[in-house]
Amino acid sequence: MLKLSTQADWIARAQAVLPAGGFGNFDPGIIISHGHASRVWDQDGNEYVDYLIGSGPMLLGHGHPEVMEAVLEQLPRGMTFFANNAKGIELAEAIVEAVPCCEQVRFVASGGEADMYAIRLARAFTGRDKILKFEGGYHGMSAEAQMSLAPDRKVNFPQAVPDSAGIPQSVADQMLIAPYNDLAAVEALLSEHADVAAIIAEPLQRIIPAQPGFLKGLRTLCDKHGVLLIFDEIVTGFRLAYGGAQERYGVTSDICTLGKIIGGGFPLAALGARADIMAHFDKHAVGAGRWLMQLGTLSGNPVAAAAGLKTMEVLSRDGAYEQLRATGADIQKMIRTALARAEIDHQICGDETLFDVYFTSNTCTNYRNARHDDPARNAEFNASLRTNGIFKSPGKLYPSLAITDEDLQRTQYAIDQAVRAIH
């Protein structure tokens, strides 16, 4: 009988052909074999309750039968065309109907692309060059986005710190960095710099919530200074609510980016805005000098669009978000109760639909104070969770609609064991 490769075999093979032995996304010490509903299995057959869910897209769980049916219906009709197709147009219509700022959309293949084009679009529309972003904010892998994402040294604001080699100083010179949740700092920067094209922000920055009035304050300041407001909703879009953070918080951006959920687990993202802003993608409308060139081999891919459409349809049904929030609230309560019983300082940070725990007594409001007092304790906590069948990121937990009562019981057990491990 042919012996199947073990996880150790696959790790060795990966180390031979992949830098650092991985794809750059997640711990290369685990190789996922397959997933179904709320569970994933590694190459050795170990089973986990999945709270990583592909870093967010699998909000319905793995292999949702209605999504699978939609994909299998599309596959024999064609996998990609590099041309307009009906499924892509239907998806654009559904996004425009759901997301407050979107009158038109353009598709790309990844969230990083969407953020890159959103920044370029803001510059094209305003004729200005500088971009204000928040320290610790994640907006993909473009040169602008790789400024002060995770700086390992504190510098004075608004200086930008590159997070990657290979980025020219000229890029840093066009970026202004501010602390999240600090409207006074933003107002001071906009008053001093008249050449700011846009503020780009995550409405929920990683898992740090916007303080009351912060997002509305950004909207007011952008209007006052003629600056565009970009909401990066790659994560929050169709997660916090069907209309994303804009619906949840009642603040409408000028441009937003969407990804993850709108592709139903396939590579697809989008950016959207008012029609007059999006006109810069139309050479005939704005002229060659103001035209923003954008194309991509897989943009508007019909298989991804079919999966996204069906995912959005399921999410639009009565009770979907109530169920998602109830699941998240249950898990938060488990963590809070177990840590409080052990008298371990902690803060649960985020939204019921996306959160994690910081082992600190500090209130977490920005990149510099949202951190563990002892990072080793967090590492031990997460290691114990995985040992006991919980699959999650070291810094995020994504509930999904696939989570069952049995999953919650298993999660409770794993949390109790993890708290014992760090107590």
Residue 36, H or E segment: strand 32-36
Sheet bearing 39-42, strands edge to edge = 32-36, 39-42, 47-50, 390-391
Q: Contact at 8 Å (CB) between 106 and 275?
A: no
Question: CA 275 to CA 279: how far, in whole Å?
Answer: 6
Which residues are annotated as catalytic?
A: 138, 232, 260
Both structure tokens of 253: 């951006």
Burial 259-278 (b: 16+ CB within 10 A, else e): bbbbbbbbbbbbbbbbeebb
- Spacing of C-alpha 89 from chain mean position: 24
Residue 201, H or E segment: strand 196-201
DSSP state of 160: -
Question: CA 361 to CA 374: how far, in whole Å?
Answer: 12
Question: CA 61 to CA 32: how far, in whole Å?
Answer: 15
Parallel, antiparallel or unpaired: strands 208-209 and 196-201: unpaired
Question: CA 87 to CA 387: how far, in whole Å?
Answer: 42
Question: CA 5 to CA 303: how far, in whole Å?
Answer: 31
Question: CA 36 to CA 309: how far, in whole Å?
Answer: 20
Cα torsion 335, 337, 341, 344 to 10°: value is 40
Question: CA 177 to CA 342: how far, in whole Å?
Answer: 39
